[in-house]
Amino acid sequence: MPIIEAKNLEKTYEGEAGAASTQALKGATLNIEEGEFVAIMGPSGSGKSTLLHILGFLDKQSGGTYKFNGKVIDEFDDEELAKVRNAEMGFVFQAFNLLPKATVLENIRLPLMYSGVDEKTWNTLADEAIEAVGLSNRTHHLASQLSGGEKQRAAIARALVMKPKVIFADEPTGNLDSKSGQSVMKIIQDLNENHGHTIVLITHETYTAEHAQRIIKLKDGAIESDEKVGHRHKADEYIK
């Protein structure tokens, strides 16, 4: 059973003060199996971020159906959606979204504060996530003291700390130089291949998308193609 099942998803944003409405998604249908690494590509305005927001429970579709882990999300109330999102989904954004005056450890602990996880285990879980992204030497540094690549690794650790089934990464290399970007992609590939996390990556870069197993291309709110990657890039091939 796919972990993500979306059928004929539509999303319309109503215009304000008589302005015309905008249809951001037009009948998008896709399935993602548990353990897959899927990249979603498209130019600006193609609907890829809208699709990610719906798949990640950050927004609701205007039409169509969406099942996550076999459950129709329309049957969940807001509290249930928040619980599932916190427990089973991790998010990595282009802008990092770290608290600059908090330490790496404090940033990584944040999702645990909104969970039912025993507080006695928070530091252990956070340390495990920090170690997984190679930031143990920065645990007590402020987020503002980190380089761009280190900030994104901290953001990945925060996404990992609840041991989610799916990690949504929205342009995770967009603010990074090529070497830092490759380091981040190596971590993301490792999470998929060696730890079993399902990855949904949003990117406008073909090179970055080709680290995935499969690429879905969007155009004008509709799925234009959905194909397996013939030759996958391996991030560690480029890191010396």
- What does the DSSP assignment read for 144-203? GGS-HHHHHHHHHHHHHTT--SEEEEESTTTTS-HHHHHHHHHHHHHHHHTT--EEEEEE
Domain presence at residue 11 = no
CA distance 208 to 136: 26
For residue 239, pLDDT beyond 50: no
Structure confidence at residue 113 as a pLDDT band (50, 70, 90): confident
Q: What pLDDT does 114 receive?
A: 83
Instruction: List, in sequence order, every beta strand (DSSP E) within the chain.
Output: 4-13, 22-32, 37-41, 63-68, 71-72, 89-93, 166-170, 198-203, 214-219, 222-228
CATH of residue 200: 3.40.50.300
Domain presence at residue 79 = no
* Residue among 229, 189, 185, 215 nearest 41 (CA): 215
pTM here?
A: 0.92
Domain presence at residue 72 = no
Structure confidence at residue 238 as a pLDDT band (50, 70, 90): very low
Residue partners of 114: CB distance under 8 A and separation at least 6:
86
Domain presence at residue 60 = no
Domain presence at residue 74 = no
Burial grade of 41 (CB within 10 A; 0-12, 13-18, 19 or more): buried
Domain presence at residue 114 = yes
What percent of the chain stands above pLDDT 70? 97
Domain presence at residue 14 = no
Tally of structural domains, the chain: 1
CA distance 34 to 196: 8
pLDDT tens, residue by residue, 5-40: 999 999 998 877 767 888 899 999 999 999 999 999
Domain residue limits at 105: 36-52+89-237
Domain presence at residue 194 = yes
pLDDT tens, residue by residue, 70-109: 999 999 899 999 999 999 999 999 889 999 999 999 999 9
User: 185-196 burial string, b = 16+ CB within 10 Å, else e?
Assistant: bbbbbebbeeee
